[in-house]
Amino acid sequence: MNRATITYNDKCVRYFLWASIIWALVAMLAGVLAALQMNISMEVIRESTVLRPIVEFLSGGTLETEGIPYITFGRLRPVHTNAAIFAFVGNMMFAGIYYSTQRLCRCRVASDKLTWTHFWLWQLIIVAAAVTLPLGLTQGKEYAELIWPIDLLVAITWLIFGYNFFWTLIKRNEKSLYVSLWFYIATIITITMLYVVNNLQIPTSLTHSYPIFGGVQDALVQWWYGHNAVAFFLTTPILGIMYYFLPKAANRPVYSYRLSIIHFWALVFIYIWAGPHHLLNTALPEWLQILGMLFSVILWAPSWGGMLNGLLTLRGAWNKLQTDPVIKFFAAALTFYGMATFEGPLLSIKAVNALSHYTDWTVGHVHSATLGWNGFMAAGMFYWLAPRLWKTELYSKTLANAHFWIGFVGILLYISALWIAGIGQSLALNETANGYVVKQFVETLDNIQSMLFMRSIGGALYLVGFLLLAYNIFMTCRKGTAVDATVEVTVRERDEIDRVTLGTIVKQDPFAAVLGLLIALVFWVTNPSNIFSLAGIIFFSVLAFVRFKKNVKKWNDWHETITANYLPFTIVTFFAAAIGGAVQIIPNALTAKAEVIDDRLQVVYTPLELEGRDIYVAEGCHNCHSQMIRMLETDYVRYGDYSRLGESIYNYPFQWGSKRTGPDLAREGGDISQGSEVMRQGLRDNFWHFRHFMNPRDIDARSNMPSYSSLASSKTNFSGLPEKIRVQSLIGVPFPVMTPHEIEGHAQGQALEISKSIVAQNPFISWVTPDMSRQKIEAELAQKEIIALIAYMQKIGVYEVPVDEDGKPKAAAPAPWENPDQDKAKH
Amino acid sequence: MDKDSQQADADIRRADYATEKGEVILRKHEYDGIQEYDQKLPNWWLVALWASIAAFIIYYTVYYTFDLMPSFSDEMDAKVEAVQEMRKKALAETLPKLNDNSLVNVWSTDAEIVAAGHKTYTAMCAACHGADYKANGGTTGRALDDGIWEYGGKPMDVFNVINNGSPEGSKGLNGMKMVAWGETALTPKQVAEVTAFIISINPADFADLKN
């Protein structure tokens, strides 16, 4: 046996660590800013001569000022979420993965070149995101906002990372894979799948594209991605990190190997199915909603498996909780993980979701996970790593403890304030009497102002805690010297490693039982009235259980063989993770796009309305407004007829929204105005919208919406429309055939008509000078984005009921995702 | 048998031995110094896992395999019907009390009703018609203090305009039309209160109906 001395590449860990800390501060600062923007309508601040100018500036002029478009809430929130997820947690994850993988493989990372390419490209992506998002360049899909050139860069960088990681696995001097590595593998392959599918898009320009999925399909794909970005970017890699750093820090063996096995496979398999719980009570087909809900409930136990395995590993090391800040952070992080993964399934229950969805409760929920679980895991890991990476003691334990308590209080303030605000506002919104709402939307804002201010304080405290961390780590670096660890390892011959073949694994007994179970499950879920598949599930479950009981050792051996070779392990993991999405998405994706759904078919946008919609997307309006009236009495009473799938089938991307900081907009659109060919008036007239965009507080002094007065100065991009319409036609929207010239002419005509209707009311517009003729003002205003946006507002949710020759509503074509037998039973 | 597989065999024997004796198994293999126990899974945890799986099967079976529950849209349609009934009832309760005479002589003379109407006006109407009833010089809506009643000057005409919005077929003000408040936000009673309030600020226009 050859012994060799190797040096780990710890320099990259140091770089990733610092990148994570710096971006964490940026992300949290953006978060605090966004939170402050929510506070602007508070009486205390509005009346104060000191606070008001400060908040006014910070909040992007959401009071009666002109407004700074770059940091309006709709643009700032994606900056915050992307920075927190991909920059802060991303870099932290890479630091942890590079550090632990090298040690768990007992070899240096396969390629330093790839490692550094990975590092610098990732930072480039973040900078590109930080520049493009405030400019309003976005895809309009949550956590997938980045425009297509950056998406490509992300995909390339991720593949480099993955290649480097697997190459390191191949070169390893350790026979089998430790549980941390399982989680890293699941992360890398699943994120690749999610990111690629959700970002399938066709560019219309260098900075703009349309997703290839629209309406309900986009909704499904987006939340399959969105939910699992949480699962496989914020959860599994951090669990892997936990499995390495926690036993290291506690110096105790991991509590239970079999618990690791069960909760790993359960998480990988089940998480993927849970996406539709973001779309409960919407127009999404019932079976998908139920699947999303039920799989979310099943997720509870496997998630707690991770928490238990972590917390119980601390048995015998609890005394360190008093002295070691690292253990303090880890223990609290696991507890918050447990709390968040209990709250998650709870919020996924349809009835609870009816109360919680679209409210601040959800915001509180995700922050208990990101601040509590991700943030504290990061802090614990950094405090543990810094002394080792710089070969010295931590600069100050006292400061680290102070960080812990300040952060802890910050989180508790944050989440409890949003529990109260979310539930409180929801109850106020749900209050009805005699079939009418009791409170207008804006009236429910009064109740939550103090809680939202409390949230800002909680978030700011957390940021202060992290500043302490940055200082502490910085001083530790200054005190010590950067050292790459050197160890002596036994060099394994290549024929000792990864010898188990996929065939060996497949041929073994447990494989058949598990595979049979999965196939039966897929059949039953997609066709539940088929009793045979249910019988199959029961048969294979019993078979698996009996065989397991009969020969535990064989099952153990089987799992050992899987973890002995990285490739079959990766393949099996991929299939486990892919099944859920495939079952849920493929039937929908096969649907013809012009299908009449629920007897309704969306009316195709005019060119100007399409451009207006792109402005709506660019401004991030969906961050605060939904376009989905749920199948709930309260939604119906407040907003009108509940939304059907057919109404948004041509929306690329869908804009159902996930939070109602303002009211739903699904019924804003309306009929064509009298005497006009294209101009519409929905609930409100053009001039109302104009005034409202210029200054929402002009309409209602209590409004919390930012001013969009800048849209009255920014120019609409008419010339990009022909290409946009060409692409939309390509993906299936039945636009009438028009030449580029006709498209621009049509858009200009509609814009001028709307502009005239507004100028007729003598509005105040900043660029209008006394010598301008009325025609000139009309022509100038028609070129502005505000007009296109108004055109879109008047079109939202407009649909037709297609009729056959007898004038009866055309029967909806059977949607392929609905099982025909079941359809008969229901109707 | 190479050394490693002998070792692995010994480990399992050790594991079996430990299982028989009810001892905690500590797996032999170490990863960078990290060891693993192989503790049994907590029973309550197993119960939670199996119970949630059972719930899945029962729920899905009840909903789909045997179709024992109404579908979401059936449920929703029932709720919609109930809301419509309630609204009809509310309208039926208020409408008989309303006529040109009662609006002027009963509703608009009751200080409480007028105050309630004023409150609603400030919250919902003032944005366009102005806190001073002049509608920003007539640009954002019709002034309510100029004695001109575009859609009829009878109290019930005012009620109907608020309740149903600008009449169908009317051209509106430069094309701008008012929302049907009765369909979107206000109860019939609230609409009547606002009507009473508007009458109260225009006493001269409704003097002929005054008893």
pLDDT tens-digit profile of A238-272?
999 999 999 999 999 999 999 999 999 999 999 99
Instruction: Give pLDDT, residue A527.
Output: 83
* Beta pairing partners, A809: A803
B115 CB-contact burial (10 Å; exposed 0-12 / middle 13-18 / buried 19+): middle
Q: Kindly identify which residue of chain B lies nearest to residue A258, measuring between CA atoms.
A: B38
**pLDDT at A821 exceeding the cut of 60:** no
Please report the sign of the dihedral spanned by the C-alpha atoms of residue A498, residue A501, residue A504, residue A505.
positive
> A14-43 b/e with 16+ CB inside 10 Å = b?
bbbbbbbbbbbbbbbbbbbbbbbbbbbbbe
Strand locations in A588-631, DSSP E?
Answer: 601-602
Instruction: Give pLDDT, residue A624.
Output: 95
**pLDDT at A209 exceeding the cut of 70:** yes
* Domain ranges across chain B: 3-65, 79-209
Distances (CA, A) of A504 to A551, A560, A565, B22: 18, 12, 11, 32
- In this structure, the strands spanning A2-7 and A486-491 are antiparallel
In B158-187, the residues whose Cβ lies within 8 Å of chain A are 169, 171-172, 174-177, 179, 184-187
Alpha-carbon gap, residue A16 to A100, rounded angstroms: 13
Q: Given CB atoms, is A123 within the 8 Å cutoff of chain B? A: no
Q: Looking up tokens 């899974």, which residue turns up?
A: B41
Contact yes or no for B123 and A443 at CB 8 A: yes
The most confident of A106-110, A517-521, A537-541, by mean pLDDT:
A106-110
Q: Are residues A772 and A662 in the same domain?
A: yes
Predicted confidence (pLDDT) per residue in B81-122, tens digit: 999 999 999 989 988 989 999 998 999 999 999 999 999 999
Number of residues that this document lists for chain B:
211
Q: Are residues A704 and A624 in the same domain?
A: yes
Number of residues that this document lists for chain A:
827
Range with lowest mean pLDDT among A62-76, A92-106, A262-276, B95-109: A62-76
Alpha-carbon gap, residue A361 to A741, rounded angstroms: 49
Alpha-carbon gap, residue A404 to A397, rounded angstroms: 10
**pLDDT at A807 exceeding the cut of 80:** no
Known binder of ligand: residue A80?
A: yes
Instruction: Please check whether residue A352 lies inside any domain of the structure.
Output: no
Instruction: Give pLDDT, residue B23.
Output: 63
**pLDDT at A625 exceeding the cut of 70:** yes
Instruction: Please check whether residue A129 lies inside any domain of the structure.
Output: yes
Contact yes or no for A312 and B139 at CB 8 A: no
Q: From the candidates A685, A762, A790, which should be mutated to test the interface with B, based on the most B CB atoms within 10 A?
A: A685
Residues 6+ apart with CB under 8 A from A507: none
Range with lowest mean pLDDT among A34-43, A554-563, B138-147: A34-43
Q: What is the percent of chain B with per-residue pLDDT over 70, rounded to a whole number?
A: 89
Q: Are residues A532 and A652 in the same domain?
A: no
Alpha-carbon gap, residue A704 to A700, rounded angstroms: 9
Q: From the candidates B7, B30, B37, B166, which should be mutated to test the interface with A, based on the most A CB atoms within 10 A?
A: B37
Alpha-carbon gap, residue A516 to A511, rounded angstroms: 8
* Beta pairing partners, B34: B31
Instruction: Give pLDDT, residue A817.
Output: 43
Q: Looking up tokens 């036994």, which residue turns up?
A: A490
Q: Are residues A710 and A639 in the same domain?
A: yes
Mean residue pLDDT across chain A: 91
Pull the structure tokens for residue A556.
């153990």
Looking at A111, A144, A175, the residue that finishes a domain is A175
**pLDDT at A428 exceeding the cut of 90:** yes
CATH number at residue A52: 1.20.210.10
Q: What is the mean pLDDT of residues A776-786?
A: 97
Q: Which of A162, A191, A238 is nearest to A566 (CA)?
A: A162
Contact yes or no for B169 and A674 at CB 8 A: yes
Cis peptide upstream of residue B96 (ω within 30 degrees of 0): no
A786 CB-contact burial (10 Å; exposed 0-12 / middle 13-18 / buried 19+): buried
**DSSP letter for each residue of A278-295:** GGTTSSS-HHHHHHHHHH
Distances (CA, A) of A56 to A42, A53, A454, B103: 12, 5, 18, 46
Q: Are residues A507 and A633 in the same domain?
A: no
Angle at A469 between CA A466 and CA A470, to 5 degrees: 90
Q: Which of B99, B68, B124, B26 is nearest to A701 (CA)?
A: B124
Looking at A589, A624, A640, the residue that finishes a domain is A589
Q: Are A170 and A110 in contact (CB under 8 A)?
A: yes
Quote the pTM value.
Answer: 0.92
Instruction: Give pLDDT, residue A650.
Output: 93
Pull the structure tokens for residue A413.
């303030």
Instruction: Give pLDDT, residue B171.
Output: 80
Alpha-carbon gap, residue A633 to A432, rounded angstroms: 9
Instruction: Give pLDDT, residue A495.
Output: 80
Instruction: Give pLDDT, residue A820.
Output: 39
Q: Which helix (H) or strand (E) holds A490?
A: strand A486-491
In B6-25, the residues whose Cβ lies within 8 Å of chain A are 8, 12, 16
Tell me the three state secondary structure of residue A819.
coil
Pull the structure tokens for residue A197.
């599918």
Q: What is the mean pLDDT of residues A520-526?
A: 88
User: Domain count of chain A?
Assistant: 3
Q: Given CB atoms, is B80 within the 8 Å cutoff of chain A? A: yes
Instruction: Give pLDDT, residue A508.
Output: 78
**Chain Cα centroid distance, residue A67:** 27
Q: What is the mean pLDDT of residues A700-710?
A: 87
- At A654, the pLDDT band (50, 70, 90 cuts) reads very high
**pLDDT at B79 exceeding the cut of 90:** yes
Task: Give CB contacts under 8 A, 24+ apart, made by B121-128.
Answer: B121/B194, B121/B197, B121/B198, B123/A440, B123/A443, B123/A700, B124/A440, B124/B181, B124/B185, B124/B186, B124/B194, B125/B194, B127/A698, B127/A699, B127/A700, B128/A688, B128/B178
Looking at A589, A611, A637, the residue that finishes a domain is A589
Predicted confidence (pLDDT) per residue in B17-32, tens digit: 556 656 677 887 889 9
Contact yes or no for A174 and B175 at CB 8 A: no
Instruction: Give pLDDT, residue A825.
Output: 37
- At A801, the pLDDT band (50, 70, 90 cuts) reads confident
Instruction: Give pLDDT, residue A41.
Output: 62
Q: Are residues A605 and A580 in the same domain?
A: no
Q: Kindly identify which residue of chain B lies nearest to residue A560, measuring between CA atoms.
A: B8
Pull the structure tokens for residue B144.
């309510």
Q: Are A272 and A576 in contact (CB under 8 A)?
A: no
Instruction: Please check whether residue A282 lies inside any domain of the structure.
Output: no
Q: What is the mean pLDDT of residues A83-88?
A: 97
Q: What is the percent of chain A with per-residue pLDDT over 90, rounded to a whole number?
A: 71
Q: Which helix (H) or strand (E) holds A5?
A: strand A2-7
Start-to-end Cα distance in chain A: 73
Distances (CA, A) of B80 to A431, A520, B180, B185: 16, 38, 19, 16
Q: Are A234 and A27 in contact (CB under 8 A)?
A: no
Q: Looking up tokens 């006006």, which residue turns up?
A: B121
Predicted confidence (pLDDT) per residue in A563-608, tens digit: 889 998 999 999 999 999 998 888 777 665 555 577 789 999 999 9
Contact yes or no for A529 and B176 at CB 8 A: no
Q: Are residues A630 and A563 in the same domain?
A: no
Q: Are residues A541 and A634 in the same domain?
A: no
Instruction: Give pLDDT, residue A823.
Output: 41
Known binder of ligand: residue A827?
A: no
Q: Are residues A625 and A574 in the same domain?
A: no
Q: Kindly identify which residue of chain B lies nearest to residue A557, measuring between CA atoms.
A: B12
Instruction: Give pLDDT, residue A549.
Output: 81
Q: What is the mean pLDDT of residues A265-294?
A: 94
Instruction: Please check whether residue A577 lies inside any domain of the structure.
Output: yes
Q: Report ipTM for this prediction.
A: 0.87
Contact yes or no for B176 and A259 at CB 8 A: no
Q: SS3 string of A640-703? A: CCCCCHHHHCCCCCCCCCCECCCCCCCCCCCCECCCCCCCECCCCCHHHHHHHHHCHHHHCCCC
Q: Which helix (H) or strand (E) holds A202?
A: strand A201-203
Instruction: Give pLDDT, residue A59.
Output: 61
Alpha-carbon gap, residue A166 to A97, rounded angstroms: 12
Q: Which residue has the higher pLDDT, A298 or A595?
A: A298
Distances (CA, A) of A400 to A379, A391, A394, B203: 9, 18, 9, 72
Q: Are residues A168 and A47 in the same domain?
A: yes
Going by CATH, does the domain composed of B79-209 fall within 1.10.760.10?
yes
Q: Are residues A665 and A527 in the same domain?
A: no
Distances (CA, A) of B91 to A180, A443, B102, B157: 65, 24, 16, 16
Distance from CA of A259 to the nearest CA of B (A): 6
Which residue range is the domain that position A77 belongs to? 8-175
Predicted confidence (pLDDT) per residue in A339-354, tens digit: 999 999 999 999 999 9
Alpha-carbon gap, residue A229 to A219, rounded angstroms: 15
Instruction: Give pLDDT, residue A555.
Output: 79
A721 CB-contact burial (10 Å; exposed 0-12 / middle 13-18 / buried 19+): buried
Alpha-carbon gap, residue A96 to A84, rounded angstroms: 16
Pull the structure tokens for residue A308.
């238990």
B47 CB-contact burial (10 Å; exposed 0-12 / middle 13-18 / buried 19+): exposed
Q: Are residues A69 and A42 in the same domain?
A: yes
Q: Looking up tokens 């397991």, which residue turns up?
A: A548
Q: Looking up tokens 């006009």, which residue turns up?
A: A676
In A208-227, the residues whose Cβ lies within 8 Å of chain B are none
Instruction: Please check whether residue A335 lies inside any domain of the structure.
Output: no
